[in-house]
Structure 1
Amino acid sequence: MLPPQPPAHPPAHRLRPHRPHARLHGLYRLLAPLPCALLLAACAGGLPSTATERGDGPPVTPTLITPELVAEQRAQRLRQGAQDISRFIAPPAPYTIGPGDVLSITVWGHPELAVAQPNAPTSLATPIEQAAAAAAAQGFVVSAQGLLQFPFAGSVKLAGLTEIEARDLLRNRIAHMIQQPNITLRVQSYRSQRIYVDGEVRMPGLQAINDIPMHLVEALNRAGGVLPTGDQSRIAIVRGGASYLVSLPDLVRQGVDPATIQLRHGDAVRVHAADEGKVFVTGEVVAPKALLMHNGRLTLNEAIGEAGGINTVTGDARQVYVVRRAGAVSQVFRLDAESPGAMAIAEHFELTPRDTVYVAQTGLANWHRTLSLLIPGALPSAITAGRQ
C-alpha cells in the first residue's frame, strides 16, 4: 500500500496570515469611494467662510468682531435711539378742547344761562348710559364738528382752543347782550383725546389725556406700572402707523429724562414681555440654552458664560459666531476667542433680541460625528477590533 500523499494545496487557513485589523481595513475600503470634498468639509468644522440664508440667497460673509466694530455698533445704536425719541420730545403743551369734551360754563350774575338739570334716569337705563347722561348734563357738550351752542352766542367753534382762549371768545360773543360779562370756563369731562396702553402693565386699556401733560412715564403710571415680566428696554410707541422702540434704562444712562417724551391723541404704547427678547446659545458649549436679556442688555461674553463656557474637548474657540436677523437677510459675526484680548472684546459686544450664538466644533470632533452618521457603529467596532 502506498503512503498517503500530501494534498495538492495547503489548507485555506495556512494561506491567510492572521490579520487582527481586518475590520479596520474594511472600514478603509468603505470610506475610500467617498468624495474628498465631503471628508474635507467634515474635518474643517464650523461655519464656512460664506453662507447663504436657505441655500438660495446671496452669500453672507462673517464679519470679524474687533474693537472697531464694537465701537461702530455702539455709536450706531446711540444714533438710532436718539433719532427714534427725537420725534416724541417736546415741551408740555396746554390742553386744547376737542369734540366730545364736556365744558362747565358759568356767567356770574346770570344763573339763567346755566345748564338745566335733567330728569332722574329711569330704572331701565344701563349704568353706562346713566354715567354718560350725568356727565353730559353737568355741562355743555362740544359737538363732533367742534361746535358749542351757548345762549346769546349761537354756534361757536371751540375745538382746538385752550380754556382761556375759549372763555375770551365766549365773552366777546355775548358782550352785546351782557355788559362786561364775567365768565368761568373749564373742561368738566375729558373725552376727546385718548391713548392706549397695552402689554406687560397691570391695567392695560385706554387712558384719557387731561390737563396734566401725558408723557411716557405718566402713561405707564396710570396703567399701574410695568409688570416684573415686562421689558423696560423694549417699550414700543406706535404713531401714524409706525412703531418706535424706547429703552428706559438707556435713556437714564444717557441722561435723558423720560418725562420729556410727550404722547398725543391716538398714540399706542406697548410694553413687550421680557421673554420676547431671548438670545439662543448653541453649538459646542457646556449647556446650550435660551437666555433672557437683562433690561435689554446682554453681551457675548455673558451669554457664553451663562451657557457654561466653551466645551474644552469639542469646541473650537477660534470659531464663535453670532447670527443676527436683519430684515430679509442675516448678519454673521465671528470671534476668535483664542486671540489676545478676545474676552475683553466679547464683553463689549452687545447682543440683540433673537440673536443666535453658535460655537463651532473642532475638526476632530466633526470628523468623528460625520463618520458616525455615514456608517453608524462602524468606527467604535473598528477601534475595538484594532485593540484585539
Structure 2
Amino acid sequence: MKPIFKTVLPLATLLAISGCTMPGSTVDLDNKQVINTTPDESNMSEQELAQTPVNVVNVYPLSPSFVNRYASFAAVEAHSLSNPVLDAEAANYEYIIGRGDILNITVWDHPELTIPSGSYRSAEEAGHWVRADGTIFYPYIGFVEVAGKTTSQVRKDITKRIAKYIESPQIEVNIAAFRSQKAYVTGEVDTPGYQPITNIPLTFLDAINQAGGLTGEADWRNVTLTRQGKSETLSLHDLMQNGDLTQNRLLRKGDIIHVPRNDAQKVFVLGEVKDPKLLKIDRSGMTLTEALSEVGGINELAANATGVFVVRSGQRDKAHEAYLAQVRDQALTDEEKRDLEAKNQQLAEQGKQSRPEHIVANVYQLDISDATALVTGTEFELEPYDVVYVTAAPIVQYNRVVSQLLPTISGLNDLTELAVRIHNW
C-alpha cells in the first residue's frame, strides 16, 4: 500500500492547500503596467531633494481643552475680519440709470412740466421711460442722454439746458421704476429668481434673504457668485455663523448667485461600528458623537474604544492650521527644539535648507474607553469628506487571524489522519 500512500498524500495535500485563499477581494497586477508616481529620492540632486516636500501625517489626541480651543479658533479669527472694500463701495454707491428705467422729473412751480399727463396717474405711469438708445424726451429741450449716468448727473444736465426757457429752475430727478438691472439667485433658495438692483445697495446676503432664505438641502458653505464669466465661492456659513464679513459682496448688474445642494457635504464612517455608511451633513453641522450615533455606535464586542479616529485632509484643514502649528510647537520639548534649531543651523552653514513639509492628513484621536469622553466628541465638528474610523481591538485582530488559520489547520489534521489510515491499510 506504500505506493498508493505516496500517490494519495501529495494529491490530498494539494487539494487542502488549494482550498486555502487569502480573505477579501484583490486586484491581480500580473501582466499589468504599474505607474510609479512616487519620486525616486535616491536619484535626486541635493537641490531637488531640498525642494521635495516631506509627506507628514499629524495625530492630535482630542482632549476637552484641545477641542474647545480648536472649535473657537476659526470663529475668533473670522470675527476680526471686517470688509473695508464693501464698506467703501456701499458708502460711495450711486445707482446708474439704464435702459428700461422710468424717471420721475419734478420742476418746482411748473406743474405743466412735472405732471403733463394729469395728476391722477402714478409716478411710474407718468414718468419718463428710458428708451433703447439710452435717452428720454423732455419738453423744450428734446432728447436727453441718461443711460450710464446717475440721477445727480441727469439733474445737472436738464437744469443747464432748461435754464434757457425757465428762470432759475429747481429740478429734482428720481427713479420711479427700477427695470434695467437685475441680479439672479438660483438653486436651493425658497424663491429662486431675479432681485432688482435699486438705489439701495444690494449685497450678497440681502439677495439670499430676499429670495426667502435657504432650503433644508442647501450647501451654504460653497455658494457660487458669478460675475462677467468669473466665479468665486463664498461661505454663507462663515458669514452668518462666524460673522466673517469678507464673505459678503456688493452685487452688480448681471451677477448670478447659485446655492448648490449639499450632496457633497458628506462624511464616511468606517471600521468597527454597527452600521458603517456615508452620512450627509446638514446645515446645522455634525459632530463626531452625532456621527457615531447615526451608525448605531461602536461595536462593543470588536471595537478598540481608544482608537476612534477622524482623518482629515491637510488641504481641507487650513482654517485651523495656525492653531495646529502652535500645538505642534508646544508638543516639542526644549531639548527637541534645540536639536531642531541646531540641525537647521547646520544645514544653513552647508548652504542647504530644511525640506518643506506637506501635511497629507491631520488625524484626531478620541479615547472613549471612558464613555464621558463622548461629551468631548459633541464639541468636535466634522468637516466634509472627513473619514471617521474605529479600529478593532487587538484581541479581535488576533481572533480574526486565528479564524482564518483554523480551517487550514483542521484540513491538515484531517489530511494527517487520512494519511495515517492509508498507511495502516
Bin for the TM-score computed over the shorter chain: 0.5 to 0.7
SS of match in other structure, 1:96: coil
RMSD: 5.1
* Mapped contact 1:239–1:267 kept (Cα < 8 A): yes
Deviation of 1:195 after TM superposition, in Å, equals 1.1
Deviation of 1:102 after TM superposition, in Å, equals 3.0
| Partner Cα distance (1:111, 1:55) in 2 | 85
| Partner Cα distance (2:408, 2:310) in 1 | 30
State the match for 1:64 in structure 2: 59
Which residue identity lines up with residue 186 of structure 2 in the other structure?
D
The answer on 1:219 being equivalent to 2:187 is no
Q: 1:116 to 1:176 in 2, by over 3 A?
A: same
| Partner Cα distance (1:315, 1:384) in 2 | 33
SS of match in other structure, 1:318: strand
| Partner Cα distance (1:233, 1:321) in 2 | 20
Deviation of 1:344 after TM superposition, in Å, equals 5.5
Any gaps of 5 or more consecutive residues in structure 2?
25-34, 40-53, 119-123, 317-357, 418-425
State the match for 2:128 in structure 1: 139
The answer on 1:206 being equivalent to 2:194 is yes
* Mapped contact 1:89–1:261 kept (Cα < 8 A): no
The answer on 1:358 being equivalent to 2:389 is yes
State the match for 2:159 in structure 1: 171
* Mapped contact 2:366–2:373 kept (Cα < 8 A): yes
State the match for 2:283 in structure 1: 295
Which residue identity lines up with residue 201 of structure 1 in the other structure?
V
Which residue identity lines up with residue 188 of structure 2 in the other structure?
E
SS of match in other structure, 1:312: coil
Percent identity over the alignment is 28
SS of match in other structure, 2:156: helix
Which residue identity lines up with residue 73 of structure 2 in the other structure?
A
Q: 1:330 to 1:304 in 2, by over 3 A?
A: farther
Deviation of 1:335 after TM superposition, in Å, equals 0.7
* Mapped contact 2:97–2:150 kept (Cα < 8 A): no
Aligned positions of 1:1-388 closer than 5 A: 56=37, 60-66=55-61, 70=67, 71=69, 74-76=72-74, 79=77, 88=86, 91=90, 95-100=94-99, 101-107=101-107, 109=110, 111=112, 139-141=128-130, 150-153=138-141, 156-159=144-147, 161-232=149-220, 234-239=222-227, 241-248=230-237, 251=239, 253-254=241-242, 262-316=250-304, 317-318=306-307, 320-324=309-313, 326=315, 331-337=361-367, 343=374, 345-366=376-397, 378=407
Which residue identity lines up with residue 313 of structure 1 in the other structure?
L
Calculate the TM-score normalised by the size of structure 1.
Answer: 0.63
Q: 1:333 to 1:164 in 2, by over 3 A?
A: same
Deviation of 1:200 after TM superposition, in Å, equals 1.0
Q: 1:259 to 1:298 in 2, by over 3 A?
A: closer
Cα offsets for 1:166-200 (capped at 9, x unmatched): 32331122212222234342223323322110111
Cα offsets for 1:209-239 (capped at 9, x unmatched): 1234323453234323322333455544445
* Mapped contact 1:237–1:268 kept (Cα < 8 A): yes
State the match for 2:344 in structure 1: none
Q: 1:64 to 1:329 in 2, by over 3 A?
A: closer
| Partner Cα distance (1:176, 1:55) in 2 | 84
**Count of residues paired in the alignment:** 329
Which residue identity lines up with residue 104 of structure 1 in the other structure?
N
Any gaps of 5 or more consecutive residues in structure 1?
1-8, 14-21, 43-53, 118-134
Which residue identity lines up with residue 378 of structure 1 in the other structure?
P
Deviation of 1:205 after TM superposition, in Å, equals 2.1
Cα offsets for 1:318-364 (capped at 9, x unmatched): 25242437379952414152688864554433221222212233445
Q: 1:111 to 1:282 in 2, by over 3 A?
A: same
| Partner Cα distance (1:94, 1:136) in 2 | 27
| Partner Cα distance (1:69, 1:116) in 2 | 73
| Partner Cα distance (1:138, 1:380) in 2 | 97
Give the stretch that moved more between structures: 307-316 or 57-66: 57-66
Q: 1:265 to 1:296 in 2, by over 3 A?
A: farther
Q: 1:152 to 1:69 in 2, by over 3 A?
A: farther
* Largest Rg, 1 or 2: 1
| Partner Cα distance (1:221, 1:167) in 2 | 34
| Partner Cα distance (2:303, 2:206) in 1 | 50
Q: 1:56 to 1:76 in 2, by over 3 A?
A: farther
* Mapped contact 2:265–2:282 kept (Cα < 8 A): no
Q: 1:323 to 1:368 in 2, by over 3 A?
A: farther
SS of match in other structure, 2:97: coil
* Mapped contact 2:60–2:362 kept (Cα < 8 A): no
Q: 1:203 to 1:235 in 2, by over 3 A?
A: same
Cα offsets for 1:262-290 (capped at 9, x unmatched): 43333332223244312221121122222
SS of match in other structure, 1:310: coil
Calculate the TM-score normalised by the size of structure 2.
Answer: 0.58
